[in-house]
Amino acid sequence: MAGNASSPPLQQSLWRRQLAEALAAIPIDRQRRLRPLQPAAGGAALLHDGGTPLLDLASNDYLGLSRHPAVVAAARTSAAGEGVGAGASRLVSGSRPVHAALEDNLAAWLGRERVLLFPSGFQANLAAVQALADRHSLVLADRLIHQSLLSGVRCSGARLLRFRHNDLNHLEELLLKVRAEAPQRRVLVLSESLFSMEGTSVDATALVALGERYDAAVLLDEAHALGVLGAGGRGLGHGLQGIALLSGTFGKAFGSGGAFLAGDQLVMDWLLQSSGAFRYTTALAPPLAAAAQAALTLLLEREAAGDPAGPALLRRAARWRQALVAAGWPRPPGNGPILPLLVGDDGQALALQERLARAGLLVVAIRPPTVPAGTARLRLVLRQDLPAGCLARLLHALGPPPPPVMPLHP
């Protein structure tokens, strides 16, 4: 065809040149690489590229349930009986009894009226923000919220204002101002109960009280808290009925995959009727739902036996924080299983990551844009199934902190 004859060669296309220029502008030390890791026998160890086994101090499998026999068996049985995938969305032919059972059991566990399952936490957060905000709304968000929540705000078209990290006084200043200027405007407040890169937690009770005082909906992301924080691992929002929506995932303490939103009947009915993120996606794979149900059963059994999983992990986290301080590092913020060690410089953080890898420890350097510029860090994550002696190994491999080391965000 004549039109094809005059088309520019593929390598000269304008959009390709623009992408190439944008890619070239990313510094080499900030470009991401995939690192295939093969699970090895023993649960907590991973084989890096088929080489030396690395002790996993990076994953979010806080309770070690991803390889628990009961969780694995539940997924295997479901796959054998129902297949691997659901085959369609929940509103077509993708709903299975395991979905309904997990939703009902989660709702009862969390003390919420209803739960809806999603294939991923990112997708659940997109749906949550879009359900509670539109282009006429104002969103007040902690400045360190997850990218999925920020993406939800952009998709909603709402105006965004950010308050200082976990600074509820600043949040109240913003709420006072908006209510003075626009008493009828819909306002949504976004925060997390355990911030994944900071290790810090919001005062959920005070947050919800502000939402109620100023008639603002509150969306609390419990992804990293569930299974670890709160009564029986139910998160910091447990018992706080003023929360409009809770979001949570199964890919962390539950050892499976997928996510959910929990709320009262009104909000969940609105989600079901209006959410494209729920309506137009294939349902959560039944084996993942079965595995999440098995994990929930294990949490309930441990709680009934008087040995919930969360407190033991938090006590271990306290010991690690004390030991790091004694070794000269600033105390990692928070009290949960995420322990960020601030390094500051990207290159120093990467050098420490490589030093730890040579010592057989998998610890990942977190750098901008994931965290603010100048706050590159090592993100240590504790797991219930870590073997004895790994703290001593870590301290020996780390050595003294590189100067200067500044405190993380208050």
DSSP 129-142: HHHH--TT-EEEEE
6-35 pLDDT per residue, tens: 666 666 789 989 999 999 998 887 788 887
Both 82 and 150 in one domain: the answer is yes
Question: Residues of the chain with pLDDT > 70: what percent?
Answer: 93
Give a yes or no: residue 354 inside a domain. Answer: yes
- Do 139 and 162 reside in the same domain of the chain? yes
- 136 assigned to active site: no
In the set 56, 103, 198, 221, the catalytic residue is: 221
- Note the pLDDT tens digit of each residue in 178-197: 999 999 999 999 999 999 99
Is it the case that residue 407 has pLDDT exceeding 60? no
| 231 within a domain of the structure (yes/no) | yes
Q: Which of 68, 99, 146, 409 is catalytic?
A: 146
CATH number for position 338: 3.90.1150.10
Write down the pLDDT at residue 255. 96
pLDDT band at 48, cuts 50/70/90? low
**Catalytic residue of the set 68, 99, 165, 224:** 224
Average confidence (pLDDT) over 49-54: 74
Average pLDDT estimate for 386-402 = 91
The residue annotated as part of the active site, out of 196, 201, 247, 275, is 196
**Catalytic site residue 238?**
no
Options 59, 60, 89, 105, the catalytic residue: 60
Beta-sheet pairing, 114-118 with 364-366: unpaired
Catalytic residue among 252, 256, 346, 409: 252
Residue of 365, 321, 318, 317 whose CA lies nearest to 337: 317
User: What one-character DSSP code corresponds to residue 66?
Assistant: G
Q: Residue 161: what pLDDT? A: 98
Q: Are residues 190 and 86 in the same domain?
A: yes
Active site residue 60: yes
Going by C-alpha positions, the residue among 286, 249, 255 that lies closest to residue 122 is: 249
Is 192 an annotated catalytic residue? yes
Confirm whether 303 is a catalytic residue: no
Per the CB < 8 A criterion, the answer to whether 133 and 139 are in contact is yes
- 51 and 144 inside one domain: no
* 29 sits in which H/E element: none
Count up the domains in the chain and report the number.
2
Q: What are the C-alpha distances in Å from 253 to residues 39, 64, 71?
A: 18, 7, 12
On whether both 179 and 240 belong to a single domain, the answer is yes
Of 304-313, 331-340, 401-410, least confident by mean pLDDT is 401-410
By the 10 Å C-beta count (0-12 exposed, 13-18 middle, 19+ buried), 7 is classed as exposed
Say whether both 221 and 142 belong to one domain: yes
Is residue 166 among the annotated active site residues? no
Mean pLDDT of 380-399: 94
Domain boundary among 275, 303, 331: 303
Tokens matching residue 125: 């957060």
Tell the residue number behind the tokens 């919001």, with chain if given. Answer: 202
Size (the chain), residues: 410
- Domain with 354, as residue range(s), is 36-62+309-398
d(CA 278, CA 257): 16
User: Does one domain contain both 324 and 236?
Assistant: no
In a domain, 406, yes or no: no
- What's the CA gap between 212 and 355, in Å, rounded? 49
Task: Tell me: pLDDT of 5 over 80.
Answer: no
Q: Is residue 136 part of a domain?
A: yes
> What pLDDT shows up at residue 242?
96
Same domain, 140 and 233: yes
Give the residue from 271, 277, 239 showing the smallest Cα distance to 123. 277
- 224 tagged catalytic: yes
